[in-house]
Structure 1
């Protein structure tokens, strides 16, 4: 499932966190919401980032999409 398909299923709190902290490590509670909304973090979808020692990240394209969405850009 693509980011634009599960985004609207997130709570406003999770959307707000992702918008305000765009590019940061995604906390477990937000990651749990993404998965519950249909986001498969083990897929090869363009929004899936990677895990490192700090935690899980969204991809650069997802970060760009969230920024554009927050700014009401197409």
Structure 2
């Protein structure tokens, strides 16, 4: 599932957290909600995986979220 598909499926609180903390490692709660919304799927276009700091999103996903935060209508994140 692509980020533009799961974005509306997560809570407003999670979307707000992702905007406020864009580019930062994901918290366990945010990761859990995303995984629940995607049925556990992690698309390479938005999921970069885990690092020593925790799970994180790709640069493309970070850019997509930034565009959303700026009130833009970004195209889907490419894989």
Once the 2 structures are TM-superposed, how far is the Cα of residue 7 of structure 1 from its aligned partner? Answer: 0.2
1:3 is matched with 3
Point out where structure 2 has 5 or more consecutive residues left out of the alignment: 74-79
Once the 2 structures are TM-superposed, how far is the Cα of residue 50 of structure 1 from its aligned partner? Answer: 2.2
| CA distance in structure 2 between the partners assigned to 1:59 and 1:26 by the alignment | 12
Point out where structure 1 has 5 or more consecutive residues left out of the alignment: none
Q: Structure 1-normalised TM-score?
A: 0.90
The total of aligned residue pairs comes to 72
Once the 2 structures are TM-superposed, how far is the Cα of residue 49 of structure 1 from its aligned partner? Answer: 1.0
Q: Structure 2-normalised TM-score?
A: 0.85
Residues 7-48 of structure 1, C-alpha deviations (whole Å, 9 max, x = no match) = 00000110000000000010010000001111623x4x3001
Segment drifting more, 61-70 vs 30-39: 30-39
Once the 2 structures are TM-superposed, how far is the Cα of residue 73 of structure 1 from its aligned partner? Answer: 1.5
Name segments (4+ residues, structure 1) moved above 6 Å: none
Residue 50 of structure 1 pairs with residue 35 of structure 2: no
